C-alpha cells in the first residue's frame, strides 16, 4: 500500500518539528544546530515532490484548515495525526472542487475540519449523522440549532419548575454545541431529560454549562470527557424522556446558576 506512506510523509512536512524531534536534536552531541534543519529540509523536499505528483490541488485549496487540523491532531499524539490526515484527504477530494465563492470555501473548510475532528474523536452515534455539519456563527457561543422557528415553554415557566427553554424543531434536526468545552454528561437516559448531553465550558473566566435533552436515541456523537468545539454537531432533536413532542430542551448555567438561555444566546451568540 503506497497511499498511507505518502500521507504520513506529507503530514510530517506540514507539522513544525515535533516535540520528540526537537528534544532528540538538542541532546545529540555532534553538530547540534545544523543537522535538524537539514534533515527537515530534506524531508520537506521529498514529501513536497510526492505531494506535487500525487495530490495536485491538495495544498493550494485548503492550507489554513489543514494546518489547524494537523496541529490539533499533533497535540493528541502520532496515532491521531495519521487518522486526521486520512480523513482530511477523503473530505477534500469530495468537496474541494465545487466551492466557488470565498464564503463557500470557508464553509467547506469548517465542515472539513469538523468532520476530521469528529472522526478523530470517534463518534458515539449509532444513527446516521453528517459529522461535517457545523452550527452557524463564529464566536465562542453559538445557537444550538441552526434555525429557531418556535419557542415552547420558556425559562422558569411551569411555576419555576422549567429550568430551560423548549426549542421546538422537527425530529432529526442537528444539535450543535453552544460552547466549546468538555462533555460532562452523555447518556441515553438522563432522568426526565431522556437522551442528554451536558458540556462544561469556560467563557471569559466563567464556567458555562449547557444541557441538551430529549435528543433522539442513538444520536449522541460525543461521550463523557470529549472536548467539543462550539458549533460541533453533538446529536439530533428527538422526544425522549419527559417530552411532549420533538424539541430541544436547552439549559444554561453560569458558575452553577441557571440563566435564561434565550437571553444568554441573544447576548452572546454569534
Query: Counting contacts by CB under 5 A, is residue 10 touching Zn ion?
Result: no
Query: Counting contacts by CB under 5 A, is residue 166 touching Zn ion?
Result: yes
Spell out the alpha helix ranges (H) of 1-142.
3-14, 19-27, 34-54, 58-61, 63-75, 78-95, 102-121
Q: How many residues at the interface with Zn ion, by CB under 5 A?
A: 2
Query: Counting contacts by CB under 5 A, is residue 249 touching Zn ion?
Result: yes
Q: Smaller CB distance to Zn ion: residue 58 or 143?
A: 143
Stretch that binds Zn ion, among 18-26, 42-50, 131-139, 247-255 (CB under 5 A): 247-255
Find, among 109, 10, 102, the residue nearest to 55 by Cα.
Answer: 10
Least distance between Zn ion and beta carbon 178 (Å)? 16
Find, among 250, 259, 264, the residue nearest to 175 by Cα.
Answer: 250
CB 250 within 8 A of CB 167: yes
Stretch that binds Zn ion, among 125-133, 179-187, 241-249, 258-266 (CB under 5 A): 241-249
Which residues of 177-264 form beta strands (DSSP E)?
A: 181-187, 195-203, 206-215, 227-228, 233-236, 247-254, 257-259
Least distance between Zn ion and beta carbon 140 (Å)? 25
Query: Counting contacts by CB under 5 A, is residue 251 touching Zn ion?
Result: no
Stretch that binds Zn ion, among 84-92, 103-111, 121-129, 248-256 (CB under 5 A): 248-256
Q: Which residues contribute to the site for Zn ion (CB under 5 A)?
A: 166, 249
Amino acid at each position: 500500500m503506497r497511499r498511507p506512506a505518502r500521507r504520513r510523509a506529507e503530514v510530517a512536512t506540514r507539522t513544525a518539528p515535533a516535540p520528540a524531534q526537537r528534544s532528540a536534536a538538542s541532546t545529540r552531541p555532534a553538530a547540534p544546530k545544523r543537522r535538524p534543519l537539514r534533515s527537515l529540509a530534506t524531508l520537506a523536499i521529498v514529501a513536497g515532490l510526492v505531494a506535487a505528483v500525487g495530490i495536485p490541488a491538495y495544498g493550494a485549496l485548503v492550507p489554513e484548515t489543514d494546518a489547524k487540523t494537523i496541529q490539533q491532531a499533533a497535540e493528541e499524539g502520532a496515532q491521531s495525526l495519521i487518522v486526521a490526515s486520512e480523513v482530511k484527504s477523503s473530505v477534500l477530494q469530495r468537496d474541494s472542487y465545487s466551492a466557488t465563492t470565498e464564503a463557500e470555501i470557508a464553509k467547506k473548510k469548517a465542515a472539513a475540519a469538523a468532520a476530521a475532528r469528529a472522526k478523530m474523536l470517534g463518534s458515539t452515534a449509532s444513527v446516521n449523522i453528517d459529522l461535517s455539519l457545523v452550527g452557524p456563527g463564529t464566536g465562542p457561543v453559538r445557537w444550538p440549532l441552526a434555525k429557531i422557528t418556535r419557542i415552547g415553554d420558556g425559562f422558569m415557566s411551569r411555576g419555576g419548575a422549567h429550568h430551560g427553554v423548549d426549542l421546538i424543531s422537527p425530529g432529526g434536526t442537528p444539535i450543535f454545541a453552544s460552547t466549546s468545552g468538555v462533555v460532562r454528561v452523555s447518556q441515553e437516559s438522563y432522568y426526565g431529560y431522556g437522551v442528554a448531553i451536558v458540556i462544561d465550558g469556560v467563557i471569559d473566566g466563567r464556567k458555562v454549562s449547557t444541557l441538551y435533552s430529549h435528543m433522539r436515541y442513538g444520536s449522541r456523537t460525543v461521550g463523557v470527557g470529549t472536548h467539543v468545539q462550539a458549533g460541533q454537531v453533538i446529536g439530533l432533536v428527538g422526544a425522549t424522556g419527559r417530552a411532549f413532542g420533538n424539541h430541544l430542551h436547552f439549559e444554561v448555567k453560569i458558575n452553577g446558576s441557571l440563566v435564561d438561555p434565550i437571553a444568554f444566546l441573544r447576548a452572546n451568540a454569534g
